[in-house]
A and B are shown apart, each in its own frame.
Chain A
Amino acid sequence: MIVAENCIHCDLLVIGAGLAGSAAALFAANRGISTVLIGRTGNLQFTSGLLDLLAGYPVEDANDFSQSPWESVARLTADIPMHPFALIDPPEIRQAFTEFLAFLSEVGLDYYVETERNIRIVTSLGTLKTTYALPTSMRHNATALKEKQPCLLIDFEGLKGYSACQIRETLTRSWPGLRSARVAVGSGREYYPQPLADELENPSVQTDLVKAIRQHLRGEAFIGLPAVLGLSAASNVRQALEKQLGLPVFEIPMLPPSLPGLRMKEVLEKHLSGRKGVKTLFQQEVLEANRTEDQTFICHAGPGEPMVTIEARGIILASGRFFGKGLHATRKGIRETLFNLPVKQPESRSLWHHEDLLHPQGHPINLAGLETDKHFRPLGNDGQPVYRNLFAAGTILAHHDWMRMKCGGGLALSTAFGAVNAFLKMRSTSSN
């Protein structure tokens, strides 16, 4: 028997507080499941804040903007029945998006979706990013791009890695209406995105910025700024600028750690913790997981004293890939870090990567991961689920290359959705 005070009992333990984990916790809470969410939220800062569904299939034309994402999904699941998307009905994917985006807007982070088609925006590199759900701060980015409207791109003194001139130069042949200008905020010193965002939440700084921008305006219809317009008060900042400039303003996503990702991190941390039925253990991790004969999981979490013990009837493993430390690779091979589940992987390390970084097919190792049955339960070497109450969601799954297929967001949300439903099913069957 475990000491009561630092022991938490719950129905579902979600391991991993990235996009998939957070979504899983949300979905579970919405279905009245008592849930514990544990993991580092830091890596959300590396996400672009955009939620891709599937930018196109096959990957070679992952930039084929004309495709409807849903058609692509259909074709994808037809060709690759092992792809996680194949484990869920498209309606469920839609539902996952709707439910998650509803939550975000409920907590003040609005997203823009054109349900049937993808959206395309400009990145700080001047490349065109095809995505599905877009922070509203970037909505005009899409509009301006689509209509190739005359547009003034602003960059900031001392903000490295972002050059308005670069975007203009890169796109100017297809979009002649672009102009660029550099303005200074505060002292001309070096700025990092987050401090800059904080600074921009200050009204007086906003007015200075507006003044500076006005000097460069030559009748453009839109104004594009790096995605650093405020953190928690982002929408206010943008509206304030639009109001004073009398022009639509949009953000251009840039090199991570990115503000849009950070905004997502902030609201998830803040509002999942407050959510009814959810207990969060952020910046902690499960160090050890055991299973009693009555199939309850008993997990010990750290760091920090006293060590927390979590007793759960089911686990959703959303611990991510190598960067998220859900998977770990040695010279000998790849293993899953917590349960040592079998990982589907190429035979030898020499097959992990192509010699060409940008090989159109993507690297085989990015298809490695956990194989599951249709209830998202990781399979053992015998092809049977390892545990009937252990589920997996997110990028840790095998047979997807989200980086090439541009399906990260969709993958996280839909597999989280599927896993939670699978858990519900499991619970109902076991209870009666």
Chain B
Amino acid sequence: MVFTVSFYLALSICFFGVFLRMAGWARTEFDPQDSVGSLVRRLSGIFTGSLRILSSRRIVWIAAALIRDVFLQIPLLRAGFFRWLAHMCIFYGFVLLVMMHALGSIITAFFFPDYASTLDPFMMLRNLFGAMVLFGILVAALGRMRRNRFFRATSRSDRLVMFLLALVIVSGFLLESVQIVSAPIFDQMVDDYMGTDDTEIRDPLKAYWAKEFYVVFSEQPSSQDLETGQTLHEENCAACHSRPGSAFLSFSLSRLVGPWALWLNRVRADIWLWYIHFGICFVALALLPFTKFFHLISVPLNLMARAGVGLSSHPGTPDDITRLALEMDACTHCGVCSLHCSVAPIFRIIPNTNILPSEKLMSVTQLAHGKQLDATHLEAVSEGSFICTECFRCTERCPSGISLQTLWRKGKQTLIDRDYPDPHGWVRQLTTDQWADRLDRCRDNKPLCDTFNRYRHAAQDPNTFSACIQCSICTNVCPVVAAADGMMPPEVTPQQVMNLLRLNLKELALGSRMVWDCVTCYLCQEHCPQGIRVTDILYDLRNIAVERLQPVRRPSSRVHPDGCKTDDPHGKNRNEVS
């Protein structure tokens, strides 16, 4: 009774959760501004879309993907053998357990009419599958300990899932081992299947089971007539019971618990463990949509969707957004992307986790779900997003087949819309002199430059630029100057930046466009007859500028009201985030 109720409860929670997640895909919208269609429209989009694809020739590709990516998990194999091994063990071990054991009465019994969980080979297989899962979990755990090069990819939900799995299996084994030694169960079965209380008849069987099946009885059976016991066994039990030895794990476990067997029998540990085992199973089932378990559904779906639709169907369309939502859910946070990310090394210098794709994706997901992140978080995401070179390696490597590129672009777009563009973007919101004014108003006396030592102080040590003889060759060769559009505010030329520094007008130098427009082609530096490190200085200034301008760029740091309203299209956004 309790069993059925809790089972169906868990099941319904699970289904409801899954539905929620799927509905979530249909509700996701990166930007409140752009309309992505009603919920119904999106849901129908999902189904019609899937139907269209499934009915098209693409079905073949999907099938292929199913075999290659889902059954054989080739992408994981590319990510590393042990990853693959662990994942295969857990995946197949567990799936087979579910089919052969959990759903034994339905599936197994269908194929083998005289199926009984205590018969071989089922008993042996169950142990085998259980062992596989445990082994997989072990490998995975070890792998995680070994792998974390830059960061800890392992999240809490990650550990929870592994823990639950382990618990299910271990509790199963414990249960079985206790059942092996359990006298009460023996008695009950005898009652059920022999229907006699005559100890004369019972005892031989009892003796036989005590000897051959290692059941532990409180009082020794009087008769030791094993032949009779065997015949009785043949008649009544053999049909459903193989020798416990083949349940290699549980059996050895049962030998371990042997000494406490009597006590265990007395407290009916078998029953308790039985409840625990199934309890955990149901919990896991109920949690499936809300934990990493969900990737059992989202990843295969995503891999197949990718096979069916390709990386990104029609960028910007509601269905595409839905698609992106699915992809975000397909992330197992395995960290493979971060391991192969081409800008990940920057993380060593700028400790901003949002540089790492696996971490950035979580922020982007929050953005996508319209979460209001605080200013500092948004700045971190912005920094991480705009350091990304979209080199495509993450997308290529992702075992879940997520097209991260698309997500990054979408994320950048959202950041820009929320007024968190890259420095090259926001530095243009003010002109050189406006920046200078702001810096003047909020001076900080911390040393100007805390960036890479390589460029350190190039912009602050007069010896680096005071050798200038004002020949203006640096300006003459500068491609940025040559390309400058006459309608822009006066471009401060490289020579003029040097002079601003010499004139001790650092604030003007920092705000100047040239610092940002410089393409670091090094022509100026190579041509300077005095060997002044013009480009290095500009580069240094750029690094300083990020540090110095960032804090004063928001109107909140505005000292008097006029500030820069005119250059501030997103005034409202700013006020709420800052």
Contacts and interface: CB of A to CB of B under 8 A. Distances in A.
A192 B475 contact: yes
Nearest to B483: A195
A46 interface: yes
B479 to A, nearest CB: 9
B471 A46 contact: yes
A257 B486 contact: no
A188 B486 contact: yes
Nearest to A283: B526
A187 B487 contact: yes
Contacts of B477: 194
A192 B486 contact: no
A192 B527 contact: no
A194 B482 contact: yes
A186 B485 CA distance: 10
A400 B528 CA distance: 27
A141 B486 CA distance: 32
Contacts of B528: 42
A34 interface: no
A188 B484 CA distance: 12
B23 interface: no
A256 B526 CA distance: 18
A149 interface: no
The 10 closest A-B pairs by CB, nearest first: A189-B486, A187-B486, A195-B482, A194-B476, A42-B529, A192-B476, A257-B473, A42-B527, A257-B476, A192-B475
Given A192-B476, A256-B471, A257-B471, A43 B529 contact: yes
Contacts of A188: 486
Contact of A187 (B475, B476, B485, B529): B485
B534 to A, nearest CB: 13
B472 interface: yes
12 contacts: A42-B529, A186-B486, A187-B486, A187-B487, A189-B484, A189-B487, A192-B482, A192-B493, A194-B477, A194-B482, A195-B481, A257-B473
B312 to A, nearest CB: 40
Given A45-B527, A190-B490, A257-B472, 8 more contacts: A43-B529, A45-B471, A45-B476, A192-B472, A192-B481, A192-B493, A194-B476, A194-B477
Contacts of B481: 192, 195
Interface of B: 471-473, 475-477, 481-482, 484-487, 490, 493, 526-529
Contacts of B472: 192, 257
A39 B482 CA distance: 27
B476 A42 contact: no
A193 interface: yes
Contacts of B475: 192
Specify which of A40, A46, A187, A189 lies most central, judged by the most chain B CB atoms within 10 Å of its CB.
A189
A195 B478 CA distance: 9
B529 A193 contact: no
Nearest to A43: B529
Interface in A148-195: 186-190, 192-195
A198 B484 contact: no
A interface, by DSSP: helix, strand, loop or mixed? loop
Contacts of A45: 471, 473, 476, 527
Contacts of A187: 485-487
A281 to B, nearest CB: 14
A46 B481 CA distance: 20
A195 B477 CA distance: 8
A189 B482 CA distance: 11
Contacts of A186: 486
Nearest to B469: A323
A316 B421 CA distance: 57
A393 B528 CA distance: 24
Contacts of B473: 42, 45, 257
B246 to A, nearest CB: 70
Contact of B482 (A40, A42, A43, A198): A198
Interface of A: 40, 42-43, 45-46, 186-190, 192-195, 198, 256-257, 283, 323
Contacts of B476: 45, 192-195, 257
A189 B485 CA distance: 8
A188 B490 CA distance: 12
Contacts of B487: 187, 189
Contacts of A257: 471-473, 476
A58 B473 CA distance: 35
A190 B473 CA distance: 15
A193 B529 CA distance: 17
Contacts of A42: 473, 527-529
A45 B475 CA distance: 13
A323 B481 CA distance: 26
A40 B484 contact: no
A46 to B, nearest CB: 7
Nearest to A40: B529
A194 B487 CA distance: 20
Contacts of A40: 529
Looking at A190, A193, A283, A323, which has the most chain B CB atoms within 10 Å of its CB?
A190
A366 to B, nearest CB: 18
B493 to A, nearest CB: 8
Nearest to A194: B476
Nearest to B479: A195
Which among B471, B476, B490 has the greatest number of chain A C-beta atoms within 10 A?
Answer: B476
A4 B487 CA distance: 55
A306 to B, nearest CB: 19
A71 B475 CA distance: 43
A156 to B, nearest CB: 13
A302 B482 CA distance: 31
Nearest to B487: A187
Contacts of B486: 186-190
A40 B471 CA distance: 16
A256 B472 CA distance: 9
Nearest to A324: B529
B513 to A, nearest CB: 14
A192 B493 CA distance: 11
B84 to A, nearest CB: 44
Contacts of A195: 476, 481-482
Nearest to A196: B482
A43 B528 CA distance: 9
A211 B472 CA distance: 31
A46 B471 CA distance: 9
A323 B528 CA distance: 12
A283 B527 CA distance: 8
Most buried by B among A42, A188, A283, A323: A42
A42 B476 CA distance: 12
A32 B76 CA distance: 65
Contacts of A283: 526
Contacts of B484: 189
Contacts of A198: 482
A16 B467 CA distance: 21
Contacts of A194: 476-477, 482
A194 B493 CA distance: 14
A42 B493 CA distance: 19
A192 B524 CA distance: 14
Contacts of A256: 471
A46 B477 CA distance: 14
A247 to B, nearest CB: 29
Contacts of A323: 529
A43 B530 CA distance: 10
B379 to A, nearest CB: 35
A411 B22 CA distance: 86
A269 to B, nearest CB: 12
Contacts of A193: 476
B472 to A, nearest CB: 7
Nearest to B495: A192
Contacts of A192: 472, 475-476, 481-482, 493
A46 B493 CA distance: 20
A91 B504 CA distance: 56
A323 B530 CA distance: 9
A40 B490 CA distance: 32
A186 B484 CA distance: 12
